Structure 1
Amino acid sequence: MCRFLIYKGRDPILLAHLLTRPEHSIINQSYDSRLRIDTRRPINGDGFGVGYYTPEEDVELGDEPCIFCATTPAWNNMNLARLAEKTKSSMVFAHVRASTAGVLSETNCHPFSFHSFMFMHNGQIANFSQIKRRFSEHLKDEYFCFIQGSTDSEWAFALFLDTLDKLGADPKQSPRPSGFGHAVLRQAMELTIGYIRTWTMEAAVKQEGAVEPSLLNFAVTDGHSVVVTRYITSSTEEAASLHFSTGSKFIEYMPGQYRMERRDRRQDVILVASEPLTFERSDWVTIPTNTILTINNQTVLMHPIVDEFYQPDPSIMRSSNFAASRGLVSPIVEPQAYTNVQLPPLEREGRRRPSVAAA
């Protein structure tokens, strides 16, 4: 499996503080992943990618993100190290790849982009080859033709764009100054997951046998709002690991050692990561399985995905066996109190085990 990282801040951050300098940076995770126990493929060395947005006031550069990717291992790319030391951004997507579908090529490296959008994926769509035709039949021509690589992830991105388009929001346009809004992006993401869930279940019925779950940790942004999912098509298994951290500043207190500083209740810095960048347990909160997390104006919102795999009973624990078999474990981080994390009524009423306590 892969690893990804998201940074959204009020102020730009030097990419090196995310990619290279931390002792457990995402680049170091490409060869030293603490939550990856797959001895068959112990490293994430099948390429990498980093995408970031330039300042909005620089109109000449446009709304599209700048993306740098390569098929070389992230730890062995000097150009990435040089870029990280000289580039700042307030919205960053980074991804290191351990391929499950698609050959080793730059067209298969995440994040993918389409006009103002960026998208990345950690996981796999079960039996993708058997439902690929369903994707192609469903997509409008412009999104079908947009696909350049061979990964299930890029097809999922095309499906998201097509779904957003059919909801009445043209992905080729970037409404200023606040983008499309987190609500419509979340709706499109839920529908995208719903299509994939339906098609894989139909394929399972045709096979008349057990089909392994799909692991769908998706992340998408229009440069303003961010939508991230931690999802698996199972009511008994954990999804691939995913965590978030918020605070006033992400600081280096010793060479290579970072922590999330919280001087007040502001969320000037928001990080979402497959694997924590720091070893401070109190810095990170585990996102519950089958949950959508959105970031809107530096506010974190969490919504359960209520479908046939939704587990309303908080006393029932999911198994990590499947995630572990794919090189992932899902350690439970104790819930922390975040006053700016907003939970929808369904969670406030106690109908689901929350990972964050609303103050």
Structure 2
Amino acid sequence: MCRWAAYRGDAIYLEELVSSPAHSLIEQSHCATRAKTSTNADGFGLAWYGDRPEPGRFRDVLPAWSDCNLKSLARQIRSPLFLAHVRAATHGSTRRDNCHPFVHDNWSFMHNGQIDHFDQLRRPMETMLDDEYFNGRHGNTDSELLFLLAMQFGMKERPLAAMAEAIGFVTGLSLHLVGSVKIRFTAAFSDGKSLYAVRYASDRFAPTLFAGPMGESGSHCVVSEPLNDDTDAWMEIPPDSAVVVDDTGLRVEAFKPAVETQRLPNLALAN
């Protein structure tokens, strides 16, 4: 399982989440405490927003703790909104195109979890994408394909609803083709203005998610696991929840995808 951290608020140096805290993201890459595996060595990535609408991005396949460029960039780059991720691969080979965050236009996305039976679901999921999103896919992970499916379903206009529809579609597809479903989904995504996060699973085992304030200015970070031992500073986000961080602050709301079957007849599922 992967580890990640996201931030929205006053501009800060990326190192304040990535490398400086006692349990920073780099520390979590080889010593995670709230994941099935403590080591996340299959690459890392950053996506940050600055003066342009689209995010900057840096990814590599090295373990986060062994890349001197990551620490240098995190020390020099300041941003009011950024996503950072260390990867433990489930689907997809260890290559740069499979490292999170994924981006499309001004949107960025990163994920901790998995879609079971992805090899059987991949082709019909791809069939739902028009040329813009199909050609925007560069890796072969379930995470990137789910992100593009949500974009196809209207994430630009209604981020959480489109993500719920994408998960509901994959749920219906898995039930139709496999007869069962297992989706683990704790993710963060952003359009450069607001930060969204979701904690969801089709069973009882949703990957962890926490949120906490940073400073006294209404800034917040959302993380896979706390960045320090100050347990009072971190709120655990319950399963079946979404987090929104915007100009009004941080709020938590229900997130419960419905099984989507209406689109299934449009696919060639006989095989």
Q: Same fold (TM over 0.5)?
A: yes
Residue correspondence of structure 1 range 204-219 to structure 2 within 5 A: 204-205=178-179, 211=180, 213-219=182-188
Of 57, 62, 75, the residue aligned with 1:85 is 75
| Structure (1 or 2) with the larger CA radius of gyration | 1
Supply the AA of the counterpart residue of 1:204.
V
User: 1:262-306: per-residue Cα shift (whole Å, max 9, x none)?
Assistant: 5xxxx5211100011011110111111111111221422222124
Matched-pair contact (CA < 8 Å) for 2:45–2:59: yes
| 3-state secondary structure, aligned to 1:104 | coil
Change (3 A) 1:37 1:127: closer
Mapped to 2, the partners of 1:91 and 1:227 lie a distance apart of 11
Mapped to 1, the partners of 2:258 and 2:248 lie a distance apart of 31
Mapped to 2, the partners of 1:282 and 1:215 lie a distance apart of 27
Structure 1: 4+ residue segments shifted above 2 A:
305-309
Supply the AA of the counterpart residue of 2:3.
R
Q: Is residue 98 from structure 1 mapped to residue 88 from structure 2 by the alignment?
A: yes
| 3-state secondary structure, aligned to 2:103 | strand
Q: Is residue 16 from structure 1 mapped to residue 12 from structure 2 by the alignment?
A: no
Mapped to 1, the partners of 2:256 and 2:15 lie a distance apart of 38
Cα displacement (A) at 1:214: 1.1
- Consecutive unaligned residues in structure 2, runs of 5 or more: 260-271
Partner of 1:244: 211
Cα displacement (A) at 1:212: 6.0
Matched-pair contact (CA < 8 Å) for 1:270–1:298: no
Mapped to 2, the partners of 1:305 and 1:35 lie a distance apart of 22
Cα displacement (A) at 1:88: 0.4
| 3-state secondary structure, aligned to 1:164 | coil
Partner of 1:202: 176
Mapped to 2, the partners of 1:216 and 1:199 lie a distance apart of 16
Mapped to 2, the partners of 1:37 and 1:130 lie a distance apart of 25
Further displaced range: 45-54 or 287-296: 287-296
- Consecutive unaligned residues in structure 1, runs of 5 or more: 56-61, 170-179, 206-210, 250-261, 310-359
Change (3 A) 1:37 1:271: same
Mapped to 1, the partners of 2:54 and 2:253 lie a distance apart of 28
Aligned length: 259
Partner of 2:196: 227
Q: Is residue 301 from structure 1 mapped to residue 270 from structure 2 by the alignment?
A: no
Mapped to 2, the partners of 1:291 and 1:90 lie a distance apart of 24
Partner of 1:58: none
Q: TM-score, normalized by length of structure 1?
A: 0.69
Q: TM-score, normalized by length of structure 2?
A: 0.91
Cα displacement (A) at 1:102: 0.5
Mapped to 2, the partners of 1:307 and 1:154 lie a distance apart of 19
